Structure formats: C-alpha cells, structure tokens
Amino acid sequence: MNDFCPTFRFKQFGVDDRRSALRVGTDGVLVGAWAVAPQDAIRMLDVGAGCGVIALMLAQRYADALITASEIDAGSVDDLRLNILNSPWSDRISVAEGDFNGVDGVFDLIASNPPYFTNGELAPDASRARARHASCLSPVSLIRYAAAHLSPDGVLAMITPVEQSPCIEAEAAFARLSLKRRTDVATSPRRGVTRTLWEFTKAPCALPAPGRLDLNSDDYRILTRDFYLHF
C-alpha cells in the first residue's frame, strides 16, 4: 500500500487511472454521488467500472453494500483491482472481468457511466474506443440488463448525453421500467443541458418532473463534498 501512487485523490480514497480506457471524469463522479439505493440495499453493480470511481464512491456511502465492479478492458481492470486493494473497502468490492451480460445475480442498485459515442470515428487506441463507443456497452443494453437483474425495488442509475433522451425513455418503457428520478446537467445556469442523470425502477411510480443541476453551483458542491478534497 505504501507504493500506491494515485493520479487522483478523493477524501477517503485514491485512484490510479493511467492504464484505464476511460479516465476519471465528472460524469462518473456525478453517478457515484447522485445514485440513491433503496432502503436496506445490499447488492450493487457498477457496469463499465473503469478504474472504479463509482464502485468506490458507493462503498463509501453504503457501509453494508456488497459491490460488484464489472469491466471488460484489461488495462482498466488492472487499475480497478489496484484501486480497490488500496481502498478501505477491499473486502466489499469484487471485480467481474468481461462482458457485463455475463454477470449473474439480482441487484438492488445498478449504476453506470456508459459510453457516449454512437457514431463517428472511433478513438485510435482500442481500449479507449471500447470505453467511449457504444458498441460494447450501450444505454439500451444496460436498460435491458437491468430489467432482468434488478430486485423488485431495485434501481438503475446512469448518465447519458441529453440528445439520447427520447431513445432512453422509449427503451425503458419497452423494458417496463418506470422513471423514478431525472436530473438534467449543465455546466452553468447560462449554458444548455448536456447530460441527463436517470433513475429507473421496476416498481410503478408517478412520472417525476425533471430536476436540474449546474456544475458551477452550490448544489453540485453539496452533492460531491464528501468526495472532492476542496469542497
């Protein structure tokens, strides 16, 4: 543990993302801080875990949770295992290497920051292309997986580009998942929305009014203050 040199430090853990296909970013931190597990939730799954930011944040927030971190990219898995080992919660986070569709079980919370490119050129580096391109992990495939693997009161929490919203809503309805919570994300009050945070559940619920979160706001600092060093 003394040789661990994280590239990014949070208040209670550090992460090394130098081999990861996708580096630490705001989207993953948003999911880790915004997702809300149902009461008495135990089993949680981080899909496309990368270097493990979401899994580690969930472990910090939920002291009784048993978390599976699923990742397909070999370099990311190396960082993921290292970061878990050097965290206070290594006994509660396990790694599932490979396609997330091969992860069996029922989960109270499934969380993900899925890829956000659906067309255009792939990144030159193959692993980075896998992390950023929807050919390996799309929001649609994630919704379908969640419909089959959520517990009765379980929730799916994820973030997507706002322009994917019509597709997300249609696919969730087809999978018989109900929208429980939605927050649109913008960089500032003067900017347009660029991302959407989604929370779906199997249980029927009234359609919520969308919330809004500006990254340059007190609300964002309050949401993430248990994690960022300077908040």
Element (DSSP H or E) covering residue 58: helix 53-61
Taking only the tens place, the pLDDT of each residue in 131-173 is: 554 567 899 999 999 999 999 999 999 999 999 999 999 999 9
Distance CA 71, CA 63 (A): 23
DSSP class of 175: T
Do the Cβ atoms of 197 and 183 come closer than 8 Å? yes
pLDDT of residue 186: 97
pLDDT of residue 231: 82
Distance CA 176, CA 170 (A): 10
pLDDT of residue 134: 53
Between CA 145 and CA 152, with CA 150 as vertex, the angle to 5 degrees is: 145
> Going by C-beta distance under 8 Å and a sequence separation of 6 or more, which residues neighbour residue 49?
55, 69, 70, 71, 76, 80, 95
User: What fold, for 8-224?
Assistant: Rossmann fold (3.40.50)
Average pLDDT, the chain: 92
Distance CA 60, CA 40 (A): 15
Diameter of the chain measured on Cα atoms: 51
What pTM did the predictor assign? 0.92
Taking only the tens place, the pLDDT of each residue in 24-77 is: 999 999 999 999 999 999 999 999 999 999 999 999 999 999 999 999 999 999
* Position 105 confidence tier, pLDDT thresholds 50, 70, 90: very high
Distance CA 231, CA 222 (A): 8
Whose structure tokens read 């990861």?
20
Count CA within 13 A, CB hemisphere, residue 84: 26
